[in-house]
Amino acid sequence: MMRSRSIRWIASTAAVVLPLPGCDGSDSAAADTTPVSTTVAPITTTAAAPTTTTTEAPTTTAEPATTTTTLPPVLAEGSGSGDDVVAIDIPNTAVIETFTHNGDGNFSVSRLDSFENIDLLVNTIGGYEGARPVQFDAEYDGEGVRGFEITADGDWSYLVAPLSEAEPVDCPLQGRGDDVVAVTNFVSSGGPANLAFDADTNFTISTWTWGLDWHDLIVNEIGPYNGVVMVGSGHSVWDNANGGNWTIDCD
């Protein structure tokens, strides 16, 4: 900030010299003295040039934007190796359970309710990766999932997620192995569906209409399979239990 300094002046004054008594002692005679005028030169003060201060603008580096990926809700997950009994606590609601196995021998998973075997979810030989539906009946009055009994000769894993995490899909669609898919084509009205399967193992397809106490086993065959079946109306969740490639065409 600039600060102004005023210039001060000292005014000129004339000094008056009074006559002094004469040296001869006469009181009437005054000394003829010429007055001396003293002039005080004015004092000039020059203000210093203002100092200019330059402030550099601060440099701001923007932080990179952070993208947060929202993961799907998981009710339970875990892993292990060999035979085991796993204790979990899943409420009495429709869920999708995904299992993996990397061994060569028998791999089976049974659902436990209060540690009683109530449902065989997986029963296969060798490596496995698939999803199974659990507690899809609307009026299911059990105690929920309290654990799994696992038979395996290799490493395994499991993950339990709500039915709401099943991504709605339209026909046609295809997949491999056990899966749970939410087919949207029959929400308003039922109709035919062309199903195909290319392996020589067991091929089963069931539809579950959530929100209703309704379940229909559409196909239960030893493959290969190719056929047309009728599907009822509603929000269908398809449970494909098999070990080969399958397709669902709703046209």
Domains, the chain, ranges and CATH?
76-164 (2.60.120), 167-249 (2.60.120.430)
Q: Given the structure tokens 């669609």, which residue do they identify? A: 173
- Give me the mean pLDDT over the 114-130 stretch: 85
Contact partners, residue 49, CB within 8 Å, separation at least 6: none
Q: Which helix (H) or strand (E) holds 213?
A: none
> H helices then E strands: how many in the chain?
0, 17
pLDDT tier, 1 (very low <50, low <70, confident <90, very high otherwise): very low
pLDDT(180) > 50: yes
Model pLDDT, residue 67:
39
pLDDT per residue as tens digits for the range 44-74: 545 555 555 555 555 555 554 443 434 458 8
Cα separation of 106 and 110, whole Å? 13
Which tokens is 204 given? 């089963």
Q: What are the angstrom distances between the C-alpha of 37 and each of 14, 34, 169?
A: 5, 9, 115
**Across the beta sheet with 95-101, what order do the strands follow?**
76-81, 155-162, 95-101, 128-134
Cα angle for residues 210, 214, 216 (degrees, 5° grid): 110
